[in-house]
Every structure is written in C-alpha cells, then in structure tokens.
Structure 1
Amino acid sequence: MKQHRILFINHVGALAGAEYCCLSIAAAYRATSQMLLFEDGPFRQALEKAGVPVTVVNAPDSLLSIRTSSGLASLKAIPALWQMAQQIAKASQGFDFICANSQKAFIAASLATLIGTPPLVWHLRDILTAKHFSGVNRRVAITLANNRAAQVWVASQATADAFIAVGGRPNLVKVMYDGIESDRFDQVTLEAATAVRQELKLENVPLVGLFSRLSPWKGQHVLIEALRSLPDVHGLLVGDALFGEQDYVAMIKEMAAGEDLADRIHWLGFRQDVPALMKACDIVIHASTEPEPCARIAIEGQLAQKPVIATAAGGMLEVIADRQSGRLVPPGDANALAAAIHELLNDQQLASTLAEQGMQSAATKFAPEVCLGAVDQALATLV
C-alpha cells in the first residue's frame, strides 16, 4: 500500500460509527497523514492512541449547531464555513489529497478548493434521504460534489444509489465497504463473556443487545416494544444520546419503566468493552427505522459470532442475507422483531448456523485489508 499523504477532516469530536471507520483508514496512513477536527473530544484521543497526528481547529458554534435537516437556516453558517475553508486550505498544503469524513467537513473543504487545495474526496457516510437531509442541504451537497469532488466514496451500493438518485454524478462514486478488525472479538474468551453476565447479574436469562447512540431513528423504542411480548427476555441498551436528543431518551425510559419491563431493560451508556458485551448476548439487534449506509454494529455482531437480527433496509441488505447470515425484519415492526427473537432463542441450531455463517461473511467482506486495498486503488486513479 502506497503511503499517500492525506489530510483527513471530520467536523465532530464524538466517537460514533463513522469515526470508528475513518479511524481505521487514518491509522493505516498515520506515517504520512494527519486529521483535522472541528472540535475536540474522544475521537481525538482515539486517533492519538492510534498514532495519528491530530490538529483541532474549533469551528464556530453557528456551524456546529446546524443540523442536516435544517432548511434555509443552514445559510447562516456560510461565514463560518468560509472561515473553516480558509483553515483547511492552509492545512492542506503539502498533502496529496483531502478526505472529508462528514458532510459539514466536505462542504467546508469544497469551499477550500476555491482557494487552492489538493484533490478532494468525500467519504459519504449517509444515505441522502429527505428524512434526514433538508432539500437545501441535499442540493448544496450534490452541487458541490458534482463540481468540486474528485471522488465520492460510499460504504454500500445503497448509499451510491441514493447519491445518484438525487443528482450525484455516477462516475464520481467508489463503493468500498468499511474494514473492521476482528481481533477485538476473537480475543474475548467464554470466561470473559460469562464474567460480564455475572457483573450485570444476568447469568441465566435470555439476553439481546442493541449497541447504538440513543436516537429516534436508531430504533431503541422498537426493541423495547418488542420485549413487551417476550416476558423472559432481557435487553441491553448500550449507548447514549450524542446530538441533543434528550426528549427521546426521556420517552424511551418512560416506555421501559412499567412493571413488565423495568427489571428487564438495562441501560449501560457508552462502554469500552463492547466486544465482551456482544459475546455475552444471545442475539445482537439492529433496529434502525430508516435506511443506514452500512451499520457497523451489525457487522461487529457477526464478528462476535452472534446471530444478528437487523432492519431490512439500506446497506443492511448487503450485510445480511436473510436466514443465511442473519435475520432481516421490516423497519419499525416490533411484532416482527419479537417473532425473530423468539425464533432464534428457541431454535439453537438455526441461531448457531446464522452466527457461524454471519461471522464468515463479515470476516471476508469487511476485512480491513479489503477496505484499505480499495482506498489505495481509488487514490491511485487520482494520481
């Protein structure tokens, strides 16, 4: 792999799925590359631990506070975007490429190309739907991509199709699945998983886990509703709100406070021992109500050698083949989710088969070397 000089850019300092995926690529190029963050946070710490040089240039609140669903209100962030564009243009000197890992980072970097920068790659990690992106934001992003980006990398064909459907140029798109290390999961012993169960006082109960930030479209409420009809099953909710979604957190905690659920829903917040927690579960759940590009958590569940039940939408259709490498259920359907959980808990042969075949599929399709090979090949076409 050629050590291209890449300036990676991300607008958040939080550590979520997109940041974990970017971390693995940035770490592979750490000898020659650098990360520019618009705010400080756990992502910086993870990058530094991986040996990736990091610079934090704090963006104005007027930029960081804008949501992708905002309409014309987004226009008030233009001065802040131009300010960040100047910082990016200055920081990019001496690099071969810029790789923007978020939409705000991409828009700022697009403006920077007007000043003078190396070729810009947008690592698009969202499915551009009206549900999450206002018409204004989609038009701005697509216009800039078509005119300022050298390539647009996407984590699934579903993401590519959505980009093209809203006007993105097909010749810009490079589909490359995220690379996820299996070592963290392979190293978790049965004894370690048993110890987690003992710590949580859940030694002898059926246990399912949903690992995601708490957000309406991540579907924690769907799992809670499904568990109402599964009186012996306990659920782990691992994660917390990241982007001011406290109203949703209050709502789902109220849902889970009834006598039929209060002792069976376990709120763990963000944890550093996700591999051990996954190994402790009988089933890993992905319950997003909207299409996702390629949910990392479902792939990790497969690497943990657990049967995964996921929403049949977006990139998940490329991660899981129903009844071959996992189970798929319709988005937002608590009854279907409950039925799938019941089926796997009561058919150990099926659960074991799906876990084994899911692990083999994930270890092949989402191997880090496959992702890095695709990155290197894509950049080679720009040289």
Structure 2
Amino acid sequence: MSGRVHQILHISTGAELGGAERVVLDLARGLNRERFHVHVLVPRLGRLAEALHAAGISTLVVGYWGRGHRLGRYSSWREYASALRSLPHVARTIRALARFVNETPIELVHAHGIKAQAFSAGLAPFVRARIIWHVHDFLRHRKFWWGFQALGRRIPDLLLVPSRAVAREFANWENVLVIPNGVDLRHFSPSPSQRAGGPRRVGMIGALAPWKGHEVFLQAAERVSRVLPDVEFLVVGDEIYDTTGHQGFRRRLEQEAVRRGLAWRVRFTGFRADIAAILRELNIVVHCSLDPEPFGRVLIEAMACGVPVIATRGGATEEIVREGETGLLVPPGDAERLAEAILALLRDRQRSTQMGRSARAWVEGAFDVRAQIRRIEELYDSLLC
C-alpha cells in the first residue's frame, strides 16, 4: 500500500441531498484524509455543495450537462433530442475537466448517477485515471439502458451497487461489486425519551417524487384517521429533482390532502436537515415506493433510531427490512394493506417497541457507515496499487 495521498474525484449527478448525494457526502467526509484527498464535482449550487463546503471538501460547481440536466425518468424522446444541442457545451466542459484531472493529477474518478457516468465516459479517453461507476438506481427499464450496457462494459473499471437487487440487473457482468450504503450510528441513534407520551405520529421521509408513493400514503392516512382520529402524519421532504415531471408535485399532494379531509392531520414540513431528531418523534416510518427501491436509505436511518418501519415489497427493501422482526412489508400501491399495517403497530405498543430494538441491532451489524467507508477504501487501494 502506497504511503502517498491519492487524489479522488467524485462526480455527482444531483445537486440537492437525495439518497445518492448523501452517499457522496458520506464518502467525501468519511474517507481517510491522510490517504485520500477528495474533490467533488456538482452540476450546480445546492444543498450538496453547501454541505461539502461546510466540511472543507474541495468542490467544483460546473453545469457539465447544459440543457441535459433536466432529463429524467419521465422525459420524452423529444426532450432527449433537444438536449443534443448541449453537446458542444459538454465537449468543452470535458476538455476543461480533463486538464484538471491530468494536472492535479486525479488517480480515480468515482461517478454517481447516469449523467455523471455518461460524462465520465466522455472524459475517459483523455485521462489516465481509473473509473468507478456507482449505480444508485435500477436502469433496465430506462430509455438509455442499451447505451449504458454498451459503455458500462468498456469504460469503468468497476460497477459499484448498493444492493443485491440492483446487482441482479448485471448478473452476467464481471466487474460488479455490492457494497451496501451505511448510516452514522452515532448521529442516528435512539433517544431514551423518544415518543414518551404525546400524540402518535406516522411519517414518510424522502424526496417528493411521483414514484415514491406519497398518494398511497395519503390514502392510507385517510383510512387510519377514520379509526384513530388522533394520529398525526408527517410528510418530510421536498422537490429536489429539477428533471421533467417533478415540478409542482408538492402542490398536488397538498391539494390531495385537503380533498381527503386531512388538512389538519397531515403536515408537510418541506426539506429538513434534522432528520434524526424528526425520526425520534415518530412512532412509525412508512416507505411506500410504487417502483422497486434500489436501496432506501431512510429505512436504515429510521431503524438506527429504533423506529419500526413499514415498506413496500420489491427491490432492496426486502434485503433491509426483516419481515415481522424489524418492520412490516406490504404490496406496492395497496393503501388498504398499508393502513392495516399502520394500525397494527399503533395498537400494539409492545410489539412496536420490540421491533424498534431489533431494528437498531440489525442496522448496527449490517449498515454501519464506517464499514461502508472501510470497504470503499479497500476498493480504492485495490484499483490504485
């Protein structure tokens, strides 16, 4: 193992603090600074850049995709075609960043998200750095899957994925490694006084996006309120994606809550930085994605705080939630089953408390961010030796 400090460049697709961006932040802050000097490229100013600056991390703010930054899972082929007009801008940005990479010199580029990975593919012919693609999502159903396959087998030295569920999309690939995301167990921890008296609260935490299932949560909240009218519901998070199809979603949810007679029972908090404190005020955390989750970071954060979770089956949630032990699993899109699960845990405090304890113990052994960072450091060593 070399005694020198290795220069690492992380490229983030997102500029706010969703799940993938929190992984970037965890690694940038957590990697051994005596061995790794981390730089992070972000596409615009936002909460990720703010957090990186606060941590003293070298941060480059470059709109590297131009018009293409708005492309997402709901974009049409016409929007993809329109984004081609940004290619001259992308080419100029690649040349400029290649000079930075070679002059620093950056030894390893760690790209998070499809736009960062596409950009790193353009960068690859001009740099000597090793390349990791960190895949934080399911891609097989996306419009660009064919292109990802073509480039993914040639460009990166390794594909890094957070769950076995995502790894199954690359079952016949050779260069795939699973390293689960982790959580800071000192920050996300139970409080001795949490949920001692006061109103019962059920929360849903995460980015406001149509596929996350917020409408199903509101439908279930309406059903629960008919039986237990004193229960409070929190929707924590905001619209962090500036891609097509996400704008105005919070407004639609607020209108839906009013329509269902939940105006005084559901509170939309917007973005909150103090997630651990909020979790300690909740009796249950609900995670009801309509599509399979590639990971589900809020699940391990909630369980680390000793809060039982209810999640939809599919994807990595079945790797994270141990059914009946650390939480409950329900079918996606089924508001009735979700309401029944919420009522079951609210009515049985002893069972809920035991689930929370089991959840904390499970996360301590399986999802400690220190173990994640240690494995990433070992991976870097293997590529740079």
- Provide the TM-score with structure 1 as the length reference: 0.90
Find the partner of 1:106 among 107, 114, 117.
117
In 2, Cα distance between equivalents of 1:316 and 1:271: 23
Aligned counterpart, 1:237 = 235
* 1:5–1:29 Cα contact (<8 Å) kept: no
* 2:184–2:370 Cα contact (<8 Å) kept: no
Aligned counterpart, 1:280 = 281
Offset of 1:183 from its aligned partner?
1.6
Q: Which moved more, 1:333-342 or 1:86-95?
A: 86-95
- Give deviations 1:77-119, integer Å, cap 9, x for gaps: 4334333322332222212210001211111111111122301
- Give deviations 1:170-227, integer Å, cap 9, x for gaps: 2111100112102223375627x77xxxxxxxx7332100011111111111110001
Query: What SS class does the counterpart of residue 183 from structure 1 fall into?
Result: coil
Aligned counterpart, 2:97 = 88
Matched, 1:345 2:325: no
Pair 1:4–1:353, CA change in 2 (3 A): farther
* 2:25–2:52 Cα contact (<8 Å) kept: yes
Aligned counterpart, 2:64 = 59
Query: What SS class does the counterpart of residue 236 from structure 1 fall into?
Result: strand
Aligned counterpart, 1:354 = 355
- Give deviations 1:255-306, integer Å, cap 9, x for gaps: 2103631110101001122111111011011111111111111110101111
Aligned counterpart, 2:377 = 376
Q: Which amino acid aligns with 2:176?
A: V
Query: What SS class does the counterpart of residue 5 from structure 1 fall into?
Result: strand
Query: What SS class does the counterpart of residue 266 from structure 1 fall into?
Result: strand
Find the partner of 2:87 among 56, 60, 78.
78
Query: What SS class does the counterpart of residue 153 from structure 2 fall into?
Result: helix
Q: Which amino acid aligns with 1:153?
A: L
Q: Which moved more, 1:240-249 or 1:335-344?
A: 240-249
Identity over aligned residues, as a percent?
27
In 2, Cα distance between equivalents of 1:95 and 1:104: 20
In 2, Cα distance between equivalents of 1:163 and 1:265: 40
Find the partner of 1:209 among 203, 208, 211.
203
Offset of 1:69 from its aligned partner?
4.5
In 1, Cα distance between equivalents of 2:19 and 2:137: 11
- Give deviations 1:26-81, integer Å, cap 9, x for gaps: 11237312111221111111012222111112335312122244436435143343
Pair 1:258–1:294, CA change in 2 (3 A): same
Give structure 1 stretches of 5+ with no counterpart: 195-202
Matched, 1:154 2:161: yes
Matched, 1:19 2:21: yes
Matched, 1:174 2:183: no
* 2:107–2:128 Cα contact (<8 Å) kept: no
In 2, Cα distance between equivalents of 1:107 and 1:38: 13
Pair 1:170–1:259, CA change in 2 (3 A): closer
Query: What SS class does the counterpart of residue 259 from structure 2 fall into?
Result: coil
- Give deviations 1:316-375, integer Å, cap 9, x for gaps: 111011101211111111111101000001111211121111111112111122111221
Aligned counterpart, 1:305 = 306
In 1, Cα distance between equivalents of 2:136 and 2:267: 30
In 2, Cα distance between equivalents of 1:79 and 1:11: 19
Q: Which amino acid aligns with 1:126?
A: D
Find the partner of 2:39 among 27, 34, 39.
34
**What is the RMSD computed on CA atoms of the aligned residues?**
2.1
In 2, Cα distance between equivalents of 1:66 and 1:27: 29
Aligned counterpart, 1:198 = none
In 1, Cα distance between equivalents of 2:377 and 2:269: 38
- Provide the TM-score with structure 2 as the length reference: 0.89
Q: Which moved more, 1:249-258 or 1:170-179?
A: 249-258
Matched, 1:227 2:233: no
Find the partner of 1:121 among 110, 120, 132.
132
Give structure 2 stretches of 5+ with no counterpart: none
Higher relative contact order (CA 8 A, sep 6+): 2
Superposed counterparts of 1:309-348, under 5 Å: 309-348=310-349
Query: What SS class does the counterpart of residue 63 from structure 1 fall into?
Result: helix
Q: Which amino acid aligns with 1:207?
A: R
